[in-house]
Structure 1
C-alpha cells in the first residue's frame, strides 16, 4: 500500500519550514482507497512570495487546524504504507521535522517519483512535476496546491507502476542498501555508482553544467554520500540542485587539498564558503635609484617580476621590513617605511646611520642592503614533496621553488629526478595562495621523510 503525499509550506528553510497544507492519497496500486486533505495553521507569517506561488495567505489558514490537531489522522493513514512524493526527501523531511517538534517519531519507507521517472521514462530535459506531467499527458489541475499536486503524482505513479519490469525496479528502490531514497532526486544513480573510493576532489554540477560545490576527500564516494545524509538547509538545497558529479583522483590527501583550493579560487562555486576570498600576494623586492642607492620595498606581486619573498598582507609586509631594517641597520626611508620625508625618523626604529642625510657612504650602505637581501633569499628553499600517486606505477610531486609553491603533478616511479627542471616537466603550474602556503608548511613540518631538497638553480 502506498500513500502519495504533497505539502505546501511557508518556505522558511528546511528547519523553519512549516506546513500550510497537506494532501494524502492512499493508493493500492490500482485505485485510491482513502483521501485526507487539510489546510494547516503554521502559527507564523506566510511570506508574500509563497502566497504568490500557492495562493495561500495568512487569512486562508487563520482558522485552519494546527498540525498537532491532525497528527493522528496523518499517522493513521500513512501507517504501514510506503511514503511516495515527487522529490520525496523534501516532503518527508519537513513532515518528520514537524512531528519531531511534537515529540512524535515519524519513520516510513520512501519512494521518489522523480527518481523513478528518470529510470522508467528516460531522456526528458526536466523532471519537475509540471513539465513531466505535460510531457506524459498527465492531467495536473490546481498547480502548487497540495491536493492538485498530490493527485497528479498519483496519476504519474500509476503510469510508473504500469511500465514493464517495474517490480524489479521497485524492489531495487526499496532495498535499504540501494541508497535510492538517499540520493538527490535529480542525480542518476549511475553518477554516484561510478565514484571511486580513493583520494581526490569532486565537483557537484547543476542542470547547466556549472560547478556549484567542490570538495576533497580521502574516500570520494564515502564523502559524497555524507552530503546526502546531511540535513542542514545548505546541504539539502545543494544536493537538490545536483545533477552530475565529476571527480579527479589525487593519490593522496595533500594533492587533494591543493586541487580543492585551486578549483575553489578558479570556479568560485555557489555553495563553497571557505577559501573563496582571494588574498593578494605582496612582494618584497629591491631596486637601485638614480643616485645608486639600493632600496627595499613592497608592492602587489603583479607589478614585481622577481620578488625576494612574498607575504599576504600589507601589515605583515611592513612588519617584515621593519625587522629587516632594524637587524641590518638600514634606513626607514629607503625601506619605504616612511614616504615623502627628507630624512628618516621612524617612530619604532629610530634614526639610521645617515644615508638619508648624506652622512653614510653609498657603497657601505648598499653592502648592508645586500646582506639583508642575502638573508631574505637564503630562506627560500627549493624542494620536492614526493607522495603516493593515483596508481602503483606513479608518484605524486609537489614542487616548491625559491620558497614558492609551483604546482603538483604525477611521474612514473622509474623516472629519475635530478633537478627542479626535471620535476617541472611533469607538473601542472599553480599560483601560490595563502591557503596553499599553509597546507604545504603544515605538511612539511609533519612529513620530513617525503621531502627531497634540491640545489639552487
Structure 2
C-alpha cells in the first residue's frame, strides 16, 4: 500500500489553507514530497500568525490552492490519506477542492485513532504530547512540514507494532467507522450508543457538555454529525472526547428532555436553541358596538392571551379554523382589515354580523363558546407515551394548562387517578419553548 501523510495549516475560523505538506510513503521510505505555502485569498488572523508564524506577507506571492490542485491530486492518486486527526485535514482539503469544482475522495487513516488502538496508555494523543512521550522530535511545530514529518515517524512506528496488520485492515474496511468517528472518541463509547429514542451529550476533554441533541435513533443521529461537513460539525467533532446519552422511549419526551438539558447546561454548540423565539398571542376584546373581537399580536403586547402561538401564519390559520368551526366573522377575527363586510376567499360561514344580518348578542355567544373550548383544551391532560422498555410506559402531565413534567411507570402499576401519577413524575419547568413543543405534537 502507498500512503500520503499530510498536514495543513489554515486561517482558523474560515479554514482556508495557508500551508500544505505531503509525504508519499510506501511503508518503508518516503518516495515523494510536496510542500508549499498557499495564498488563502483572505487575511490571516493575528492569533493564527502567533501560533504558526505564517503571516500575510509570507503568503502574498504564494500560489493559490487552485494553482496547486493538480499537484495535490497527482501525488495523492491511488494512495491512502493519512493525518493526525484525519477528518480535519481531509475535510479542509476536500472543501478547497469543492471551491474549484473538483470532487476529492480518498481512503483515509487517522494516526490518533491508530495510536489509541496500538499505543495504549498515553494521557494525551495530541501530536505534540504523544511525540514527546515517544521521543519523536518535531521541528517547526505548527508548521505543515514539521508536523507532517513527525507524523511520518509516528506512522512508521504504528506500522511496526504487533497486530498492526489486522488493525490497519479493520480500519480500512468500508464498514468501519474508525475513519469517521472523531479522532479522540473511543470506539467503545460510540458502540455503546443504542438505536433508541433519547437525548445525547457531546463532551469535551474536561467532561463539559458542548452539545445536546435528541433523536428517534440515537446511534444513527450521532453518526450523522460525523459525516456532516459543516464548520460547526467539524469544530464540534474535533472537541468531542466522550458521548453520554439518556433514553426517552418516545420522540415527544426526547424533545422535552433536550429543551430542559439545553437550558440547564447552555452548551456552546447549541446556539440556535439559545435564541428566544418570537411568540404571539390570541386575545379578545369588545368594541364600542358591543361586538367581541378575536385578534392576535406579539406576546409582549398581549398580556392575557387565550392561546400562545409561534408565528403570524399559525395565528391566521388558527383563527381561520375557529371561524369555520363556530361560524365567526373573518372581519371581527382580524383576518380582513379595512372592509365594511367580510369577503374572505375561504370562509363563507359568517352569519352576517358584519352586515347587520345577525345580532351581536347571538354572535358573541359563539365567540364565548369558542374561547371556552380553547381554554378547556389547555386545562389538564395526560399524554401517554411509549416507555424506555417493553415493561414500562411513559407520560407527560399538563395540569391547569401548565406543563408539570414527564415520568416513567411500570406497566404493572395500577393507577386509578391523575394525582397518583405525580408519584412517578420527573418535575420540569414550563416555558414558551415547551408550549411550542406540546402544541406542535398535539396538533
Q: How does 1:3-82 map to 2 (within 5 A)?
A: 3-13=4-14, 17-82=15-80
Over the residues paired in the alignment, what is the CA RMSD in angstroms? 2.3
Check if 1:401 corresponds to 2:399: yes
Are the equivalent residues in 1 in contact too, given 2:306–2:374 (CA < 8 A)?
Answer: no
Distance 2:216 2:304 in 1: 39
Q: 1:58 to 1:384 in 2, by over 3 A?
A: same
Question: Quick one: which of 298, 302, 322 aligns to 1:316?
Answer: 302
Distance in 1 (CA, whole Å) between partners of 2:32 and 2:88 is 23
Where do 1:437-452 residues align within 5 Å? 437-445=435-443
Query: In the alignment, which residue of structure 2 is the partner of 1:268?
Result: 266
Kindly report which structure 2 residues correspond to 1:352-367, keeping only aligned pairs within 5 A, or say none: none
Flag the 1:235–1:375 CA change in 2: closer, same or farther, 3 A. Answer: closer
1:136-147 equivalences under 5 Å are 136-147=134-145
CA contact (8 A) 2:9 2:142 kept: yes
Partners of 1:205 and 1:244 within 8 A in 2: yes
- Partners of 1:421 and 1:224 lie apart in 2 by 37
Change (3 A) 1:12 1:403: closer
Secondary structure (helix, strand or coil) at the match of 1:215 reads strand
Q: Secondary structure at the match of 2:166?
A: helix
**CA–CA distance in structure 2, aligned partners of residues 103 and 420 of structure 1:** 61
- The gaps in structure 2 that reach 5 residues or longer are 280-297, 308-371
Residue 187, structure 1, aligned to residue 185, structure 2: yes
Is 1:4–1:153's contact at 8 Å kept on the other side of the alignment? yes
1:44-75 deviation per Cα after TM superposition (whole angstroms, max 9, x unaligned): 22222221111111221222223233222222
Q: Quick check: 2:384–2:394 contact (8 Å CA) kept in 1? A: yes
* Mapped partners of 1:247, 1:202: distance in 2: 4
Find the counterpart in structure 2 of residue 2 from structure 1: 3
The 5-angstrom pairing of residues 30-429 of structure 1 reads 30-277=28-275, 313-318=299-304, 381-429=379-427
The superposition leaves residues 318-355 of structure 1 with CA deviations (integer Å, 9 ceiling, x where unpaired) of: 5669xxxxxxxxxxxxxxxxxxxxxxxxxxxxxxxxxx
Distance across 2 between alignment mates of 1:70 and 1:430: 57
- Residue 297 of structure 1 corresponds to none
Alpha-carbon offset, residue 442 of structure 1? 3.1
Does the CA contact (< 8 Å) of 1:230 and 1:236 recur in 2? yes
1:306 counterpart residue number: none
Q: Alpha-carbon deviations, 1:166-225, whole Å to 9, x = none?
A: 111111111111111111111111111111111111111111111111111110111111
Q: Helix, strand or coil for the counterpart of 1:221?
A: helix
Q: 2-side partners of 1:391 and 1:423: how far apart?
A: 18
CA contact (8 A) 1:275 1:435 kept: no
Inter-CA distance 320–196: structure 2 relative to 1 (3 Å threshold): closer
Task: Give the alignment's TM-score, normalised by structure 1.
Answer: 0.74
Distance of aligned partners of 1:439 and 1:163 in 2 relative to their CA distance in 1, 3 Å threshold? same
Check 1:380–1:320 CA distance in 2 against 1; reply closer, same or farther (3 A cut).
Answer: closer
After superposition, give the CA deviation of every residue in 1:91-149 in whole Å (9 maximum; x if it has no partner): 11111221222232221111111111111122323211111111111111111111100
| Structure 1, unpaired ranges of 5+ | 282-311, 322-373, 446-457
Residues of 1 paired with 2:262 and 2:167: CA distance?
38
Q: Deviations over 1:289-311 (max 9, x none)?
A: xxxxxxxxxxxxxxxxxxxxxxx
For the residue of structure 1 that corresponds to 2:430, the secondary structure is coil
Q: Highest Rg: 1 or 2?
A: 1
Q: Write the distance in 1 (CA, Å) between the matches of 2:12 and 2:258.
A: 32
Q: Deviations for 1:395-441, whole angstroms, at most 9, x for unmatched residues?
A: 10111122211111111112121222210111111111112122223
Report the CA distance shift for 1:100/1:377 in structure 2 as closer, same or farther (over 3 A): closer
Structure 1 segments (4+ residues) deviating >4 Å:
318-321, 374-380
Aligned residues: 360
